[in-house]
Structure 1
Amino acid sequence: MRTKSIEATLHDAERPATRLGRTLGPLQLTMMGIGVTIGGGVFVLTGTAAANYAGPAIAVSFALGALVSALVALCYMEFASSVPVAGSAYTFAYVSLGETVAWLIGWDLILDMTMGAGAVASGWSQYVADFLATFGIRLPSSLAGPEAAVNVPAVLVIVVLTAVLAAGVRTTARINTIMTIVKLAAIVLFIAVGLFHIDPANWSPFIPASRSLDGSGDVWQQPLLGWAGITTNASFGTAGILTGGAVVFGAFSGFDIMASSAEEAKRPQRTLPVALMATVVVCAVLYVAVTLVVTGMRNYTELDTAAPVTAALTGVGADWAVRIVGIGAICGLTTVVMIMLLGQSRVFFAMSRDGLLPQWFAQVHPRTRSPRRITWTLGLTVALMTAALPIQDLAELGNIGMLASFVVVCVGVMYLRRSRPDMQRGFRTPWVPFVPVVALLLCLLLVGSLPLITWVRFLGWMAAGLLIYVCWGRRNSRLAKTESAGPVHSAEAVGSGTRHG
């Protein structure tokens, strides 16, 4: 299996035509992580996951997701600080497990971030509609919200944010920082107001009784482990907490996207580990707090909406807070969509730079140092998907893609510890192999808790990606061309990588 050396990877990142600019400082990077992490989980998925899977115990689902994220983040920290190159898990797989695995994970990450951005954009549209409704302006349900035939506001926000990303990462970071501050202020306000409107009766039962999904009409909604007879085919109960954890796990994807921006960070060996772990800890505390408040304010059976936070405030008559929190939610979801679009463009960019996708996409603008070609291509693709797919399908497809990439990162850390013990590491994951193994097992538990239909769609996407790789990517990758050029050219390529590494 072809494996790209770390030295060659670092060398390729310095080629002038495809080199990204290092402009992100520690504050910008941390705010970017919080900006993309706090958003979809709080403002969108909290309600649907509580109503359909776990009830008030969705707080436990978020806590489980935080635990898994913290363990996986420790693995990401070693990779990101040692190989600070665009591409995240794709790049990490290329230098550890080989080109075929790297391609599949890259293809998988595109699915993860594309669907994640689409899901959050759908929620953004609902919040905009609710916010305008407080002023008496009501958008037609056929044009805005999760039931719309074509979700026009969601499509428009994706197009606008794509234009912002094309302007360069420096502009993106500034806008993200401002909106993230507004978002955090809105969350604090919601918690403060919500605490005075909690009805403990809404938390009873905290873990609703398990409901069977054995009916033939629901077979595709059964979790994979339940379908295989390993766990109970049910929503709510213990199985519902696990499924809820798998659904909301995408809310912790911030550190993965931060890793994909490692090539644009200043002194990544120092700033990335601190920013990654700070993001997970801060966001976990806020997620659990908001989840407990929102399920305490309103019964979980009434939260199956794309805008549960403002719905909870409306339900208790706190209309004055709806507008303020609504502005924060809109800003918050905007940053999530924007940074997810940024992350997917960097993964696609890295794959194009390696020749696994057309290298035409890997050219960066000489002034902004941003990959405008791929940014616009992917942005318009996400807009089309958002117009066609419902929020539930978008969220579940995104999460299964992310969990699969986490599995590869955990395995990659253990592999490189054995194959490259001499490699200089900016951060070392503690207690290897214990931490990667536990993280790996928890990821498998969560991914197995996703519905069978999500697995079918995911495997179909991966099969299409494998076909593209076999027919095109395998023969056109830069690594394949280096090998076919002969030993002299291969030695030169490795030598150049060593000098720059």
Structure 2
Amino acid sequence: MNVSKYFKRKPINELVGEAEESKDLVRSLAAFQLILFGIGAIVGAGIFVLAGEAASHYAGPAITVSFAISGLACVCAALCYAELSSMIPVSGSAYTYIYATLGELAACIMAGFMTLGSFLSIASVASGWSGYIQSLLADFGIYIPAQFSATTGCVVGLDGSSQVEAIFNLPAFFIVMLITYVLYKGIQTSAFVNAVIVFLKMSVLFGFIMVGAMYIDTTNWEPFIPKNTGEFGQYGISGIIAGSAMVFFAYNGFDAVATAAQETKNPQRDLPIGILGSLIIATLTYVLVAGVLTGLVKYTELGVAQPIAIAVDKMGLPWFSLLVKVGATAGLTSVVLVMLYSLIRVLFVISKDGLLPAFLSKLHPEYKTPHILTLVCGFLIAIAGSTVSLDTLVPLANFGIIGTFATVCFAALFLRYSQPNLKRNFKCPFMPVIPIAGMLILLQIMSSLPNITYFYALIWVGVIVLFYIFYGQFNSKLHAQK
């Protein structure tokens, strides 16, 4: 058996040539739209939900430092993404970079983790969207029947002491299928919808920062770093580290910009701008929102599902609470849109490479979108998000995300020294310090994940390897080349 073929790499000049010659997807995105795409994917459930949990249980007011640490790790990864995307402007993102660096089998494993992370993240966000939209509708006296308000088997309390078992989370199903339709219609429609949503949610967050700053009680920041309880991760310095691991999920999505490479007018220039611009804006927003949040409410009171809403109540401005719910709903909507878009584009490239069935990469004759793949992904995620409680699998999604970012740091480092003469329209500064620092910080964050996560990850790798052995290697277009 020729094992070396599993590590056959796709030449970078071939990847670039294919991207430049491809007429499959329409190039219509500019740098500003890419920044909005990145913000659309990043700013969502993390800041509207996780900030309160992390402050309450791990870092206290120093949650701002936790966000900064996770942001620093992501900036390191983003600089590496920016260099690679300027060299290899192909929609496959990390999958394509690993294909050119470590070979086909490693690229398949990377694609598997990217797919799993995106799938679980989108389904989880859809479930969170359901909670916010139901709360918003309730303010107007509109209620969804309890049987269709939560995931299958979830016990929902009714008025009084009665309870009912949920059958199906209808709002979660609805939002995924609605976004699927938007993506089915094409990238221009998707970009416009995302731009409107991003403007709405960022306006709400900036409003929260500016209005909330006037109501801050500085005694809520004392002590800034609560004393450790004696257990790792419960306040103190270790709590800041544990907090950074929890809020890392809030940064998931900036890499979605790289998946728009073949629909970008000038990918070599605009992709680095989109990746770094969206991440910097999101990081600054997170730190400021977390600072105002812990200044308005004592950190011990923030362990709730809607921490920002609690903070708004402290201001005594009920009208602003409604705006926050609208902003949160909009924020989660854009996350579903951009992450589903990203997942579809990665799978599109994999199908074009022959590692998934070819029919999945067929384009709609009018909209020029991978319509079959869009419908399949949208429907499966809609079903998962409306029927399965995914809380226990979210750490696995984080494992995939962190692992992807760390591997991209390695790929940038490897290619810089193995192929130094390749054209790079953007170069990661302070090489090799940045990618090495990124890998070390990311691996430190990964080490705090539950042990069961590693078991699930091993099983998933086994599934991917078996699929590649029995299908991928026999249909790979790279192997078919003589």
What is the TM-score with the length of structure 2 in the denominator? 0.90
> How many residues end up aligned between the 2 structures?
463
Instruction: Please give the alpha-carbon distance, in whole angstroms, between the structure 2 residues aligned to 1:270 and 1:177.
Output: 21
Amino acid at match of 2:337: M
Instruction: Please give the alpha-carbon distance, in whole angstroms, between the structure 1 residues aligned to 2:147 and 2:48.
Output: 22
1:232-277 per-position Cα deviation (integer Å, ceiling 9, x unaligned): 4x44333332232122223223321001111211111111112221
Q: CA deviation at 1:391?
A: 5.9
Q: Which residue of 2 aligns with 1:159?
A: 177
Tell whether the 8 Å contact from 1:247 to 1:396 is kept in structure 2 after alignment: no
1:32-86 per-position Cα deviation (integer Å, ceiling 9, x unaligned): 1112112222223222333343333222111111111111111001111111101
Instruction: Please give the alpha-carbon distance, in whole angstroms, between the structure 2 residues aligned to 1:347 and 1:330.
Output: 26
Q: CA deviation at 1:103?
A: 0.6
Q: Which residue of 2 aligns with 1:455?
A: 454
Matched, 1:191 2:197: no
Matched, 1:414 2:413: yes
Instruction: Please give the alpha-carbon distance, in whole angstroms, between the structure 2 residues aligned to 1:478 and 1:177.
Output: 37
Instruction: Please give the alpha-carbon distance, in whole angstroms, between the structure 1 residues aligned to 2:229 and 2:186.
Output: 49
SS in 2 for 1:361: helix
Relative to structure 1, is the Cα distance of residues 108 and 460 closer, same or farther in structure 2, using a 3 angstrom cutoff?
Answer: same
Relative to structure 1, is the Cα distance of residues 133 and 298 closer, same or farther in structure 2, using a 3 angstrom cutoff?
Answer: farther
1:457-498 per-position Cα deviation (integer Å, ceiling 9, x unaligned): 23322222222122211222111222xxxxxxx3xxxxxxxx
Relative to structure 1, is the Cα distance of residues 291 and 392 closer, same or farther in structure 2, using a 3 angstrom cutoff?
Answer: farther
Instruction: Please give the alpha-carbon distance, in whole angstroms, between the structure 2 residues aligned to 1:299 and 1:137.
Output: 32
Amino acid at match of 2:185: A
Which of 51, 58, 65 is the matching residue for 2:56? 51
Instruction: Please give the alpha-carbon distance, in whole angstroms, between the structure 1 residues aligned to 2:237 and 2:266.
Output: 43
Q: CA deviation at 1:116?
A: 1.7
Relative to structure 1, is the Cα distance of residues 51 and 139 closer, same or farther in structure 2, using a 3 angstrom cutoff?
Answer: farther
Instruction: Please give the alpha-carbon distance, in whole angstroms, between the structure 2 residues aligned to 1:401 and 1:142.
Output: 33
Instruction: Please give the alpha-carbon distance, in whole angstroms, between the structure 2 residues aligned to 1:89 and 1:269.
Output: 16
SS in 1 for 2:214: helix
Relative to structure 1, is the Cα distance of residues 14 and 373 closer, same or farther in structure 2, using a 3 angstrom cutoff?
Answer: farther
Amino acid at match of 1:93: I
Q: CA deviation at 1:172?
A: 0.1
Q: Which residue of 2 aligns with 1:498?
A: none
Instruction: Please give the alpha-carbon distance, in whole angstroms, between the structure 2 residues aligned to 1:209 and 1:43.
Output: 26
Tell whether the 8 Å contact from 2:150 to 2:386 is kept in structure 1 after alignment: no
SS in 2 for 1:111: helix
1:152-196 per-position Cα deviation (integer Å, ceiling 9, x unaligned): 212210111011111111110011111111111111111223223
Q: Which residue of 2 aligns with 1:6?
A: 12
Matched, 1:378 2:377: yes
Q: Which residue of 1 aligns with 2:160?
A: none
Which of 33, 41, 46 is the matching residue for 1:41? 46
1:335-363 per-position Cα deviation (integer Å, ceiling 9, x unaligned): 11100000111111111111111121111
1:346-405 per-position Cα deviation (integer Å, ceiling 9, x unaligned): 111111111111121111223222111111111122222222444643543322111111
Instruction: Please give the alpha-carbon distance, in whole angstroms, between the structure 1 residues aligned to 2:13 and 2:451.
Output: 41
Relative to structure 1, is the Cα distance of residues 398 and 417 closer, same or farther in structure 2, using a 3 angstrom cutoff?
Answer: same
Matched, 1:124 2:129: yes
Relative to structure 1, is the Cα distance of residues 454 and 59 closer, same or farther in structure 2, using a 3 angstrom cutoff?
Answer: farther
Relative to structure 1, is the Cα distance of residues 333 and 172 closer, same or farther in structure 2, using a 3 angstrom cutoff?
Answer: same
Q: Which residue of 1 aligns with 2:116?
A: 111
Deviates further, 354-363 or 393-402:
393-402
Instruction: Please give the alpha-carbon distance, in whole angstroms, between the structure 2 residues aligned to 1:390 and 1:165.
Output: 25
Tell whether the 8 Å contact from 1:123 to 1:391 is kept in structure 2 after alignment: no
Relative to structure 1, is the Cα distance of residues 452 and 19 closer, same or farther in structure 2, using a 3 angstrom cutoff?
Answer: same
Identity %: 38
Tell whether the 8 Å contact from 1:43 to 1:333 is kept in structure 2 after alignment: no
Matched, 1:65 2:83: no
Tell whether the 8 Å contact from 1:108 to 1:401 is kept in structure 2 after alignment: yes
Matched, 1:179 2:184: no
Tell whether the 8 Å contact from 2:93 to 2:255 is kept in structure 1 after alignment: yes
Q: Which residue of 2 aligns with 1:26?
A: 31
What is the TM-score with the length of structure 1 in the denominator? 0.87
1:277-299 per-position Cα deviation (integer Å, ceiling 9, x unaligned): 11121111110111122222223
Tell whether the 8 Å contact from 1:247 to 1:399 is kept in structure 2 after alignment: no
Tell whether the 8 Å contact from 1:86 to 1:259 is kept in structure 2 after alignment: yes
SS in 2 for 1:370: coil
Instruction: Please give the alpha-carbon distance, in whole angstroms, between the structure 2 residues aligned to 1:10 and 1:380.
Output: 32
Relative to structure 1, is the Cα distance of residues 142 and 185 closer, same or farther in structure 2, using a 3 angstrom cutoff?
Answer: same
* Structure 2: 5+ residue stretches without partners: 1-6, 157-165
SS in 1 for 2:356: coil
Instruction: Please give the alpha-carbon distance, in whole angstroms, between the structure 2 residues aligned to 1:206 and 1:395.
Output: 29
The aligned runs of 1:355-434 (5 Å cut-off) are: 355-390=354-389, 392-393=391-392, 395-434=394-433
Q: CA RMSD in A?
A: 2.2
Matched, 1:78 2:109: no
The aligned runs of 1:83-102 (5 Å cut-off) are: 83-102=88-107
Q: Which residue of 2 aligns with 1:497?
A: none
Matched, 1:349 2:369: no
Q: CA deviation at 1:132?
A: 2.0
SS in 2 for 1:4: coil
* Structure 1: 5+ residue stretches without partners: 214-231, 483-489, 491-501
